[in-house]
């Protein structure tokens, strides 16, 4: 999977390249991360990438030209004929689900993420570069970088060969559209709290049944919205 990111803070992406599952995916060249700073395309002495909003108001708006040139520079790094999907992180976007991540990994080998800053991005960029807006949740963060990293992390763990067998099985809970069951490890008792007896029984059929019941119970209690779609499927 090839991911490009347009960001004023490329160093933030060390959180992906230098740690854990995403770091290993990059080391193994299963995930390629290409960063482009729009500041590199600023043309004035101050390296300006933002400007005052038309209509007035507080804050600054990211200018089209440096972002556009950044997208084009990233596009030139892919094989001719490949047209990466362009996704801008924004609270105005469609809420991202595990299903979206699955589709991205299966159907789009190349994706460019736009991580905005300040008050936002000049609206015309989305039209000019046919960018979709995606949101990681209904809250406001200071820039698109953390949103892009959340999505790239979720992508990495779905790329074949990135996760080991144990870890990929764990994924099956959300795969089934349900919340995960509770987990326990040693010691058997902590301050009087016992591990559920069934998990010590060695009866694998009973354990599997218990875990599925727990998944259903927790989902109906905590996320009844998820249960609706599972029952429909």
Residue closer to ligand 4GY by CB (options 67, 181) is: 67
Active site residue 24: no
Active site residue 68: no
Looking at residue 96, the DSSP 8-state letter turns out to be P
Q: Which of 18, 119, 175, 213 is catalytic?
A: 119
Least distance (Å) between residue 100 CB and ligand 4GY: 13
Residue 135 CA to residue 177 CA, distance in Å, equals: 20
Active site residue 224: no
Residue closer to ligand 4GY by CB (options 125, 158) is: 125
Residue closer to ligand 4GY by CB (options 140, 232) is: 140
Residue closer to ligand 4GY by CB (options 148, 156) is: 148
Query: Tokens in use for 192?
Result: 């009087």
> DSSP secondary structure string, 151-212?
HHHHHHTTSTTSS-HHHHHHTHHHHTTSPPPP---S-SEETTEEPPGGGGS--HHHHHHHHH
Active site residue 157: yes
Report the C-alpha dihedral over residues 89, 90, 95, 101, rounded to 10 degrees. Answer: 0
**Contacts with ligand 4GY, residue ranges (CB under 6 A):** 89-91, 116-117, 120, 135-137, 139-141, 143-144, 147
Q: Which of 40, 132, 172, 175 is catalytic?
A: 172
Residue 152 CA to residue 146 CA, distance in Å, equals: 10
The angle subtended at Cα 152 by Cα 151 and Cα 155, nearest 5°, is 90
Least distance (Å) between residue 52 CB and ligand 4GY: 15
Least distance (Å) between residue 188 CB and ligand 4GY: 42
User: What residues are labeled active site?
Assistant: 91, 119, 157, 172
């Amino acid at each position: 999977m090839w991911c490009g990111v347009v960001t004023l803070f490329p160093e933030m992406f060390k959180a992906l390249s230098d740690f854990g599952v995403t770091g290993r995916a990059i080391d193994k060249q299963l995930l390629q991360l290409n960063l482009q700073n729009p500041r590199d395309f600023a043309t004035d002495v101050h390296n300006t990438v933002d400007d005052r909003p038309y209509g007035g108001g507080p804050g600054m708006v990211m200018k089209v030209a440096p972002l556009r040139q950044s997208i084009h520079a990233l596009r030139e790094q892919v094989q001719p004929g490949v047209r990466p999907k362009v996704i801008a992180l924004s609270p105005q976007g469609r809420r991202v689900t595990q299903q979206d991540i699955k589709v991205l990994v299966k159907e789009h080998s190349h994706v460019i993420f736009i991580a905005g800053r300040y008050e936002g991005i000049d609206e015309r960029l989305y039209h000019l570069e046919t960018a979709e807006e995606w949101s990681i949740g209904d809250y406001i963060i200071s820039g698109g970088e953390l949103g892009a990293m959340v999505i790239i992390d979720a992508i990495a763990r779905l790329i074949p060969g990135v996760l080991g067998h144990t870890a990929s099985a764990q994924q099956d809970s959300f795969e089934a559209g349900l919340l995960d069951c509770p987990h326990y490890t040693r010691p058997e008792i902590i301050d009087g709290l016992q591990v559920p007896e069934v998990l010590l029984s060695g009866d694998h059929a009973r354990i599997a049944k218990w875990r599925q019941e727990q998944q259903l119970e927790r989902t109906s209690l905590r996320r009844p919205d998820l249960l609706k779609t599972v029952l429909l499927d």
